[in-house]
Structure 1
Amino acid sequence: MCTHEPACPTTDARDREAARTVASHPEQGWSLLCNGIVVFEDTGELLPDGRVIAPHRPATAV
């Protein structure tokens, strides 16, 4: 999906969230990345193959 240089991280890369945003819908709480991943404001992800990554916000200090 990515056609620019340098190429965005793949969907299996550890830094996959570093891909460029190609569509942003903050009013709905999600963005589409260049590598096909939909990221949600709660840090959850939907991968192009249908896998779901649960929200992974860092724990807050108490």
Structure 2
Amino acid sequence: MCLHQPACPAADAPDREAAHVVAAHSEQGWSLLCNGVVLFEDNGEILPDGQVIHPRRPIDAKAPAAA
């Protein structure tokens, strides 16, 4: 899909999120990358083959303290 030079990472590459955004829908929380990956604002992904990559959260993330 990518026509950039150098080409963007493929959908199955570890750095696939570095591909260029071709359609952004921030009001809906997702973007389409030029390698066919749908990237969600929570870092979840849908790859072109339909595979779902669940959101990744930092290991040291803590819930906010109760008031």
| TM tier relative to shorter chain | over 0.9
Superposed structure 1 runs of 4+ greater than 4 Å apart: none
- Across the two proteins, how many residue pairs are aligned to each other? 62
What's the RMSD between the two structures over aligned residues? 1.3
TM-score, normalization by structure 2 = 0.86
Give the corresponding residue for 1:55.
55
Q: Who wins on radius of gyration, i.e. which is larger?
A: 2
Unaligned regions of 5+ residues in structure 2, if any? none
Cα-to-partner distance string for 1:4-53 (whole Å, 9 max, x where unaligned): 10100001111000000000000000000010000001110000000000
TM-score, normalization by structure 1 = 0.92
> Taking every aligned residue pair, what percent have the same amino acid on both sides?
68
